[in-house]
Chain A
Amino acid sequence: MDEKKNFRRIKELEENIYSCVAIGDCRNTLKGPYSKPILEICCPNRDHGGGFEVNFARGRFTLARALIEGKIQPSEGLAEEVYQCTLCGSCREVCNNCENPDMVVTARENIGDHIDIWEKLRADLVDAGVAPLPRHKEIFTHQEKEHNPYFEKHNDRLNWLPKDSNFLQSGGDYLFFIGCTSAYRLNEISRTFLEIADRIGLKMTIIPDEWCCGSINFRTGVEELGLETAQHNYEVFKATNIKSIVATCAGCYRTLKIDYPKWIDDWDFDVLHSIELIDRLIKNGEIKIKNKISGIMTYHDPCHLGRHAGLYDAPRRVIEAINQDGFVEMRRNRANAYCCGAGGGVKSGFPEFALEVAIDRIKEAEETGAEWLTTICPFCLGNLRDAAKEANSKLKVVDLLELVKNII
Chain B
Amino acid sequence: MAIIDELTNIVGNKYCSDKDYINVAYSRTIDPCLPEIIPKLVVRPESTEQVIEIINIANKYKTPILPRGGGCGIMGGSKPISEDVIVVDMTRMDKILDINEKDYTVTVECGLSWSRLNAVLFEKGYYTGNMGPGSGLNAVIGGGLSHHSGGGGGCGKYGKCTENCIGLEVVLGTGECITFGSQQNKYVEKPFVRLGLGPDLMGIFLGDNGTMGIKTKATMKIYPKPPYFSGKTFFIEDQPYENVQNMVMELHKMGWSQGLGIYDYFFTPPPAVMGVTTDHLIKSWGDILGGVIFYVHEAFSETVLEDNSETIEKIAKKYTTRELGPSAEEGNITDWYYGEQGHWQVYHYGFSVLGPNYYATSSEMIVPVSKMAEILHKLDEWEEEKNDELFEADAESGASHIVMLPHNSCYIGCGLSATNDEDLKEDVIKLWREQLELMSKLGGVLYMAGQIGSQVLVDSKIYTEPFYSFFKSVKKLVDPNNLISPGKFRF
Contact = CB atoms under 8 A, between A and B. Distances in A.
B395 to A, nearest CB: 17
Interface of A: 14-19, 21-25, 27-39, 41, 50-54, 58-60, 62-63, 66, 71-72, 75, 77-78, 81, 96, 98-100, 102-107, 110
B471 interface: no
A35 B24 contact: no
Interface stretch (B58-66, B348-356, B373-381): B348-356
B119 interface: yes
Interface in B12-30: 14-15, 17, 19-22, 24-30
Contacts of A96: 348-349, 352
A33 B136 contact: no
A34 B44 contact: no
Nearest to A29: B137
Contacts of A33: 339-342
Nearest to B21: A78
Contacts of A106: 279, 281, 349, 352-353, 355
Given A24-B71, A98-B341, A107-B349, 12 more contacts: A19-B355, A21-B30, A23-B138, A25-B348, A33-B340, A34-B344, A37-B119, A71-B24, A102-B283, A104-B282, A104-B283, A107-B353
Interface string B110-131: 0001011011101000000000
A32 B17 CA distance: 36
A105 B279 CA distance: 10
B281 A103 contact: yes
B24 A63 contact: yes
B6 interface: no
B352 A107 contact: yes
Please list the 7 inter-chain residue pairs (A to B) with the smallest Cβ-Cβ separation, ordered nearest first.
Answer: A107-B352, A24-B138, A53-B25, A59-B25, A18-B356, A78-B21, A39-B119
Given A29-B115, A34-B344, A63-B21, A105 B281 contact: yes
Contact of B30 (A18, A23, A30, A105): A23
A27 B356 contact: no
A145 B33 CA distance: 51
Given A63-B21, A104-B281, A105-B281, A34 B15 contact: no
A29 B113 CA distance: 9
A29 B341 CA distance: 12
Q: Which bucket holds chain B's interface residue count?
A: 35 or more
Interface string B331-359: 00100101111111000110111011101
Nearest to A52: B22
A100 B342 CA distance: 10
Given A25-B136, A37-B342, A77-B19, A102 B284 contact: yes
A38 B122 CA distance: 10
B433 interface: no
Given A98-B349, A110-B352, A28 B115 contact: yes
B159 interface: no
Contacts of B342: 30-34, 37-38, 99
Contacts of B317: none
21 contacts: A17-B356, A19-B352, A23-B135, A25-B136, A29-B137, A30-B137, A31-B342, A33-B340, A34-B339, A34-B340, A34-B343, A37-B342, A41-B116, A52-B25, A52-B42, A54-B24, A63-B21, A72-B24, A78-B21, A81-B22, A103-B336
Contacts of B32: 21-22
Contact of A100 (B30, B71, B122, B336): B336
B42 A36 contact: no
A300 to B, nearest CB: 22
Contacts of B137: 24-25, 28-30
B116 to A, nearest CB: 6
